[in-house]
Amino acid sequence: MSIAPSERTALSEETVTDRPWVTIVWNDPINLMSYVTYVFMTYFKFDRAKAEILMLDVHEKGRATVSSGTREAMEIDVAAMHSYGLWATLQKDD
Amino acid sequence: MPDAFYRTGSGRTVIRLDDVEKSLLRSLSAQVIEFVAPDDAGDARDPLAILVGIDDEATAPVDPALARLLPDAYQDDDDAAMDFRRFTERSLRETKTAHSRTVAEALERSGEKVTLSDQEQASWLGFLNDGRLAIGTRIGLTDDNHDEIAALPDEDPRAGLLDFYDWLTYLQESLVQLHLDDLS
């Protein structure tokens, strides 16, 4: 298979720029399921149903994407999660 | 077991703690402060501190418990993680220190009955969580080794720490449930 290198590069750069950033909360053995739900409801203002779905994703799948947006906005969300003691990182959406 | 935290008829949030329990929490509060308080001896404007501040190995916590309390914000980008740390870690340390101080102050002014304001309850939740993170990481708690650690002989310090951890879990769960009821 052959792809014209210059075009390929240009396309992927554009795609990368357009992708939003996301905040991911990771599972850990210590945070309580109820506390994670409480944090999602308190900080993100999610209703209990949505907060519990995301909490269960963290618990069962090992991670959940809890917010998306600009890199700066995600850094604020990650800092907030850290202040609550949740294990969170930000990255480009994949 | 009865709920640790409860609401009075007038809506105040209260916990009853005996002297031993209060002294355990005071001691944990002092330990968390010692563990996470920003190092005020180092001034950020000091060129030497800046040099140290940009050294990855000098600032990323090596202690797993501290690393859990002050985690990396980027998984696969050490430079971005270190930049984030330089801009946010002091404030994160101050937040955690303030939570611990709030708990100590409430214990200090109270007898057996400790009544907490809304803001204090948020600090107690953060403090109980930080304490559990520090202790749980120290004793190597995973998703499935709780019973194994609980079965260790009494002379193993992890067994005693797990008892303390379980009690903190019970306190935190009780306070979280009150708040989940409020939010729902």
CATH of the domain at A24: 3.30.1390.10
Question: Would you say B131 and B28 are in contact if contact means Cβ atoms under 8 Å apart?
Answer: yes
Contacts of residue B114, Cβ cutoff 8 Å, sequence gap at least 6: B14, B15, B16, B17, B22, B106, B107
Of B74, B129, B169, the CB nearest to A85: B129
Total domains in chain A come to 1
* Burial label, B32 (beta-carbon count in 10 A; 0-12, 13-18, 19+): buried
Residue B24 banded pLDDT, cuts 50, 70, 90:
very high
Taking any CB pair shorter than 8 Å as contact, residues of chain A touching chain B are 28-32, 34-35, 37-38, 41-42, 48, 75, 78-79, 82-85, 87-91
Residue A5 within any structural domain of the chain = no
Instruction: Say whether A30 and B132 touch across the interface (CB within 8 A).
Output: yes
Beta bridge partners of B115: B14
Residue A8 within any structural domain of the chain = no
Tokens of A34: 């109820």
- Whole-angstrom Cα distance, residue B4 to residue B125? 13
Question: Would you say A89 and A79 are in contact if contact means Cβ atoms under 8 Å apart?
Answer: no
Residue A12 within any structural domain of the chain = no
What DSSP designation does B46 have?
S
- Domain ranges within chain B, ordered by starting residue: 5-38+90-183
User: Nearest residue of B to residue A91 by CA position?
Assistant: B74
Q: In which residue ranges of chain A is pLDDT below 70?
A: 1-18
Instruction: Say whether A85 and B176 touch across the interface (CB within 8 A).
Output: no
Longest Cα–Cα distance of chain B, Å, equals 57
pLDDT of residue B59: 65
State the complex-level ipTM: 0.88
pLDDT tens profile B164-179: 999 999 999 999 999 9
Of A35, A42, A89, the CB nearest to B129: A35
Residue A46 within any structural domain of the chain = yes
pLDDT tens profile B43-87: 555 555 544 444 343 367 888 999 999 999 999 999 999 999 988
Closest approach of B184 to chain A, Cα-based (Å): 6
Closest approach of B78 to chain A, Cα-based (Å): 12
Radius of gyration of chain A (CA): 16
Residue A1 within any structural domain of the chain = no
Range of the domain at A61: 19-92
